[in-house]
């Protein structure tokens, strides 16, 4: 399988969100999250942050630089996509454990809220393990009407994006290009 080169990306994609817009959104998200966790309810506690692999890795690293409260960083891995561009059944690779979640303040960090089924399933899995609190944060929320029927939404959202196949900032194109510091979409 031949992947696009960086030159291909510059010629055959549209820049959807620039690196500077992403950096600004992450800083603003961090301010909101810092304010939320600065309350008396969370004083002198460590929050357990779960990076949702693989997509959430880039965003988690960028966000963590700006958070001003104690964090215990963990990861979980559940996917509906793999290297595909279409979602399938949820596949758990690494589940959160009772010990990691029970009685703790949890924040789930993911790259995108697309159809929302993966993040909702992860949220429910953690919720069943009885945390003290649970919140979720995503870098981008894709704007369309294919969201969970339950009405589930992330607690913190950085940016809204158009309903196109996007990649960069943790989101992949055929398994690659998660490392791009901006968000792109193939030309229509």
Q: What is the mean pLDDT of each run of 10 residues along the chain (188 residues)?
A: 78 94 98 95 93 95 97 91 58 93 98 91 96 98 82 95 94 90 90
The contacts found for 24-31 with CB under 8 angstroms, 24 or more apart, are 25/139, 25/158, 25/159, 26/59, 26/62, 26/63, 26/66, 26/139, 26/158, 27/66, 28/158, 29/63, 29/137, 29/139, 29/156, 29/157, 29/158, 30/63, 30/66, 30/67, 31/66
pTM, entire model: 0.91
- Give the HSE-up count for residue 97: Cα atoms under 13 Å, Cβ half-sphere: 3
Q: Could you tell me if residue 183 is inside a domain?
A: no
Per residue in 103-142, pLDDT tens?
999 999 999 998 888 899 999 999 999 999 999 999 999 9
Specify the number of domains making up the chain: 1
pLDDT of residue 90: 80
- What is the dihedral sign for C-alpha 181, 24, 69, 40? negative
146: domain CATH number is: 3.40.50.2020
Q: Could you tell me if residue 143 is inside a domain?
A: yes
Q: Could you tell me if residue 35 is inside a domain?
A: no
Q: Can you give the residue range of the structural domain that contains 155?
A: 45-161
């Amino acid at each position: 399988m031949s992947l696009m080169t960086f030159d291909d990306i510059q010629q055959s994609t549209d820049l959807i969100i620039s690196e500077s817009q992403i950096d600004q959104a992450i800083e603003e998200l961090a301010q909101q999250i810092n304010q939320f966790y600065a309350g008396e309810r969370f004083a002198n506690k460590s929050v357990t942050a779960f990076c949702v692999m693989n997509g959430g890795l880039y965003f988690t690293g960028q966000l963590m630089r700006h958070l001003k409260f104690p964090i215990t960083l963990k990861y979980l891995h559940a996917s509906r996509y793999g290297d595909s561009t279409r979602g399938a059944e949820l596949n758990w690779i690494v589940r959160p454990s009772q010990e990691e979640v029970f009685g703790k303040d949890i924040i789930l960090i993911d790259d995108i809220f697309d159809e929302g089924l993966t993040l909702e399933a992860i949220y429910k899995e953690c919720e069943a393990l009885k945390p003290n609190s649970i919140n979720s944060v995503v870098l981008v929320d894709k704007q369309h009407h294919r969201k969970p029927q339950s009405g589930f939404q992330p607690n913190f959202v950085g940016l809204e994006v158009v309903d196109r196949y996007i990649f960069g900032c943790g989101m992949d194109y055929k398994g690659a290009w998660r490392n791009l510091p901006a968000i792109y979409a193939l030309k229509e």
